[in-house]
Amino acid sequence: MAHLSGTDRSQLLLLPEAVDDYVGPNNPVRFIEAFVDSLDLQAVGFVRVTAKATGRPGYDPADLLKLYIYGYVNRVRSSRRLEAETHRNIEVIWLLRRLKPDFRTIADFRRVNRSAFKQVFREFVILCRQLDLFGRELLAVDGTRIKAVNNKDRNFTRTSLVKFIREADEKLADYMKRLDLSDADEEKASGSNRSGGRLAEKIAAIKGKRDRHKALLDGLDRTGEDQISLTDPDARAMARMTKVGVGYNVQLAVDTKHKMIAGQEVSNQVLDMGLLAPTAKAAMETLGVDRIEAVADRGYFKIEDIEACEAAGITACVPKPIRGPAVRGGFFSKDEFRYDAAQDAYICPGQQALSARYASKSRDNVKIDYSNRGACKGCHLRERCTALML
């Protein structure tokens, strides 16, 4: 059987006459068009909403915003790629009415209207609220790391700077010693000293690099920060999946009714700890509620943050992290031993009752040891319970 073959390229076709005929009634671009047209761009904060009376006409921010949202929805972020879409993508051709802004115009639009995009997001959430798309009862908060325009080599932590300076000092001391030896050899031989010249070059290069690193370290001391990024000063080195990258920590609060994003905050904090209250509060404001529940993973557990949630009307559900040397060593955590008040005994993971054996007193505390020697002796879980020999 032959393969599927396309149609003949020279075949004449009766294509629809209007661009509008190519875009179906339920195509999302029609929603983008209606949404942007409903916004008061001046109030939202976009610049150049009113065209100038003189000079070359510019693009309407509404058209550029439609293109931006289209790219956002379809994961086309690069301004060059968005420009390419204006030439070949029928949906974009429909949306922009055949306008073809170049990549610089698209990039400039994004740059000068940065703060207005946040307000557009708010307006979108308010629209979804009016359409009753949010349950407004439960938020799920989590973070994602996004890459910044900053190479890893242009990010320095306090530890890496101190290490580099220490190594540079050691190297410099070694080179100086070798330079002294080379000078002594030169005096003896009174010949040319090529190796001494090379060493001097190396010393100058290391000294220059050391001074630059020292200046960065002094900068960190002045600001009290722990790291510095040279290309994008606000970006921080943080774990991204299994790798470390330089970027930002984007916090998202998702309303659980239709799994829609109700709030988002960008932070350069490396850990999620302490970010639950600010993220959930921002989502509450947008959703227009006084009380809400929020769930997050154990990475968010911080007592002060949970107290801040309670003060703001947020009922936070965050599992307590399992920390401590026993857990790190692969042993059972304390939570796996349940206290039974009726028996005054702990029920262990092997479902055995451990009763009080010894009590010792320190200045303020009484320490009681619970055990069940007989049960532990033959227990198959002992390796995960204790390192002590019974």
- Residue 262: count of CB within 10 angstroms of its CB: 30
- Decide if residue 349 touches ligand SF4 (CB under 6 A): yes
CA distance 273 to 295: 13
- Give whichever of 121 and 337 is closer to ligand SF4, judged by the CB atom: 337
Angle at 84 between CA 83 and CA 89, to 5 degrees: 110
- Decide if residue 45 touches ligand SF4 (CB under 6 A): no
CB 352 to ligand SF4: min, Å: 4
CB 118 to ligand SF4: min, Å: 53
Q: Which helix (H) or strand (E) holds 353?
A: strand 353-361
- Give whichever of 260 and 347 is closer to ligand SF4, judged by the CB atom: 347
CB 378 to ligand SF4: min, Å: 9
Q: Are 146 and 264 in contact (CB under 8 A)?
A: no
- Decide if residue 352 touches ligand SF4 (CB under 6 A): yes
Q: Provide the 3-class DSSP secondary structure of residue 267.
A: strand
Stretch 71-90: interaction string toward ligand SF4, x if CB under 6 A? --------------------
Q: What is the distance between the terminal CA atoms of the chain, rounded to a whole angstrom? A: 76
Task: Tell me the C-alpha to C-alpha distance, in Å, between residue 156 and each of 167, 205, 273.
Answer: 15, 19, 22
- Decide if residue 347 touches ligand SF4 (CB under 6 A): no
- Give whichever of 282 and 345 is closer to ligand SF4, judged by the CB atom: 345
CB 322 to ligand SF4: min, Å: 17
Q: Are 267 and 297 in contact (CB under 8 A)?
A: no
Q: Are 280 and 289 in contact (CB under 8 A)?
A: no
CB 277 to ligand SF4: min, Å: 38
> For the sheet containing 345-347, what is the strand order?
338-340, 345-347, 353-361, 366-371
- Give whichever of 45 and 349 is closer to ligand SF4, judged by the CB atom: 349
- Give whichever of 299 and 350 is closer to ligand SF4, judged by the CB atom: 350
- With CB under 6 A as the contact rule, the residue among 29, 64, 228, 379 that binds ligand SF4 is 379
CB 337 to ligand SF4: min, Å: 8
SS3 breakdown of the chain: % helix, strand, coil, rounded to 5? Answer: 45, 20, 35
Locate 244 and state its tokens. Answer: 């470390």
User: Binding-site residue total for ligand SF4 (CB under 6 A)?
Assistant: 11
Select from 52-60, 91-99, 270-278, 342-350 the region that touches ligand SF4 (CB under 6 A). Answer: 342-350
Residues in contact with ligand SF4 by the rule CB under 6 A:
348-350, 352, 354, 375-376, 379, 381-382, 385
